[in-house]
Each structure stands twice: as structure tokens, then as C-alpha cells.
Amino acid sequence: MNYRLKKISGDASFREFYRLKKGNKTSIIVQANKEKFKNLITYVIINKILRENKINAPKLISNHYQNNMIEISDLGEKSFYDVIIKKKNKLNYYKDLIKIILKLQKIKIKKKYNFKKYNIKLQKYSLSNLHKESDLFFDWYLKFNFKRLKISKTKRVLKKELNKIFKKLYFKNNTFVHRDFHASNIMINKKVFGLVDSQDAIIGNPLYDVVSLIDDVRIKLPINLQNKLLKFYHLKSKLKNEKFLNLKNDYDILSVQRNLKILGIFVRLSKRDNKSTYLKYLPHTWNLINRRLKNPIFKNFQLLLNKHIKIKKLKN
């Protein structure tokens, strides 16, 4: 039998991916030399959880953890991004993905999950988690884009206000969250959706994955479509009896938090990992942040942004 191994485009993690062709069949080799446990064992366990809950995810074929790699099933070469970017009417396609989020949110959380001799416990999205992620904005984005800025003072002032905002989150952290649920992490093979890049799953706010999907920095969705999708989620979810305002506030808070994190991560990918292609997403990331800052919850935070780093200049 002929074997062919071809490197394929990776993601923002420390993993490398290869498509292994064995005759007419293909599989994916995942290699991780850094953060090996998270990127291999945790990935295997989370994928197992997803499949047990009837969500399509890669299946482990062979485990070579000691050699920094695993072999998993191939969910295809086409992502949702590849498909949706060419579609004019996107609403129904996105509704299908909202339905996957609803399935994720029905997963019953266990105290721990195991795979052979290994086990993991899903972490809860705490206040410190939110700050640790949004700190990337100060520590990477501001540090490398505003050299004359007094980063420590700016960080202290803005972080204090962010803390007040994060404490206004209404919904509890009691839901299975994929944590990176965007168009490039959903594969399509023969009209079947499959979910990848799931190793960062956590127990968190039910709006988090909804934010990841609708406020995806890679795709410029019009505001009216974003609003329709959020209302569709509200109507179909376990939160349908909750006030829409509570959903919208949590959505806006988590969107700003996530996109501040993304600004920092994309600059870090460029400066530390030499992956400068992510910088092209920065302008739209700011557009999304500014869109959510219109919520009155952010009135004081926006004033502080304007005062300390002149946010209007950051949009370009």
C-alpha cells in the first residue's frame, strides 16, 4: 500500500498537522512538541466527549503520545469559512451552527474525564480567567503598538473598570463551552459538520460560543444579521424565558473581552511566532469592539479608552 504524508495549514496553536494518505483512505497526524498534554491528550478526551454527545469530532486512530503525536480521523479539507465566505445569504447556514452550540450546551458536565491512564477536569471560567485573557491586550497589543504609552498605568486604570464590567455578567458559568467556536474550526464533509480545535473547552457562560461564532473577526457579518442570529439563539436555547437584555449585555461584555484578547494574541503570534498573517484581522477586531462598546454598560470604559489610548485612532 502506498503511503503519502503532506503537511497542511495549521492553526494558532503549537501543533503541526499532516494528512496521511493510505491508499484511498486519509487520516490526520497531529504533532505537538509544546503544551503536549493539552494539545494531544486533552484534545483526544474533548473529542471523545463531543462524539458521545452526537457532535461530529475527530476520532483517535492511534496514540503516539510518547513521540509527541497522535493519529486522528480526517474530517475533510473544507471548513465552514471556505463555504460561507462565498455565500450571499448566510442566515440559514449560521442557524445550523447555532444548533450545534445548542447541542454543546446540553452536555452534562462530569467531575472528571479520562482516557486510559490520563484524566482531565474541565476548568471553570473564573473572573481571573477573564482578566488573564484580556491582559494580553495590554501586554502584547499595547506594548508593541504604543511604545510611548505608560502601559502599567493604563493597564491598572482600564483593568479596574473591566473588573466592574465582568462582575455584571448575568449568567452563571455552568455550560460546556468549546471556547473557539468560529468558522475555521467547523469542517464540512458531505454536508456533515465536524468540530475541531476543541482542546481549550471549559465550563463557562452560555453566551461565549455564541459570541465566538457571530463576532468572528475573520468574517464581516452585517449588524442586522448578527442581531437575527442572537435572537434565534435566544428563541431556541434554554434561556428563552430570560430577558433578552440580559443575554445582550452578557454577549457584549464577552465580545469585548474576547476581542481584546484576540488583539493581544494576534500581535503575539506575529512578534513571538512569526505568524504575521493574523495582523490583517486587527481592523475588523476593532470594528467589533466599537460595535459592542455602544452598550451603556461600557460608557465609562470607553471614556477611559479615549482618554488613555485615543481609541478612535485604533480603528485604522
Out of 23, 55, 73, a domain closes at 73
Are 87 and 54 in a shared domain?
A: no
14-29 pLDDT, tens digit each: 789 999 998 889 999 9
Pair (301, 181) in one structural domain: yes
- Please indicate, yes or no, whether the overall pTM of this predicted structure exceeds 0.85: yes
Judgement on whether residues 188 and 58 belong to the same structural domain of the protein: no
How much is the CA Rg of the chain, to the nearest whole Å?
A: 20
Residue with the three cell numbers 474576547:
258
Question: Computed from CA positions of residues 296, 215, 196, 265, in that sequence, does the dihedral angle turn out positive or negative?
Answer: negative
| 155 and 176, same domain (yes or no) | yes
Same domain? 121 vs 178: yes
Residues 40, 17, single domain; the answer is yes
- Amino acid letter for position 119: N
Q: Which three cell numbers stand for residue 301?
A: 470604559
Domain that holds residue 51: 3-73
List of the chain residues with pLDDT < 50: 312-316
For 1, the grid coordinates are 500500500
Q: Are residues 272 and 171 in the same domain?
A: yes
**Number of domains comprising the chain:** 2
Residues in CB range of 156: below 8 A, 6 or more apart: none
Q: Determine the 3-state secondary structure of 113 from DSSP.
A: strand
CATH number of the CATH domain containing 26: 3.30.200
Predicted local confidence at residue 10, as pLDDT: 67
pLDDT given for residue 313 in this prediction: 44
SS3 77: coil
Pair 196, 120 in one domain: yes
Q: Which residues contact 208 (CB under 8 A, 6 or more apart)?
A: 125, 175, 177, 179, 254, 258
Q: Minimal CA–CA distance to 288: which of 258, 313, 250, 249?
A: 258
* pLDDT given for residue 314 in this prediction: 45
Helix or strand or coil: residue 35?
A: coil
The pLDDT score that the predictor gives to residue 254 is 98
Looking at the structure, do residues 7 and 143 belong to the same domain, yes or no?
no
Pair 88, 42 in one domain = no
Residue 196's alpha-carbon distances to 44, 81, 90, 308, in angstroms, are: 11, 13, 21, 39
For 173-212, write each residue's pLDDT tens digit.
Answer: 999 999 999 999 999 998 899 999 999 999 999 999 999 9
* Cβ atoms of residues 240 and 117 within 8 Å: no
Q: What is the CATH number of the domain that holds 188?
A: 3.90.1200.10
Residue 242: per-residue pLDDT? 98
Taken in order 50, 56, 61, 65, the sign of the CA dihedral is negative
Does one domain contain both 58 and 91? no
Q: Is the dihedral of CA 291, 296, 298, 299 positive or negative?
A: positive
Whether 105 and 36 map to the same domain: the answer is: no
The domain boundary, picked from 40, 73, 106, lies at: 73
CA angle 223/268/45 to nearest 5° reads 80
Distance in angstroms (rounded) separating the CA atoms of residues 166 and 250: 9
| Domain final position from 58, 73, 88 | 73
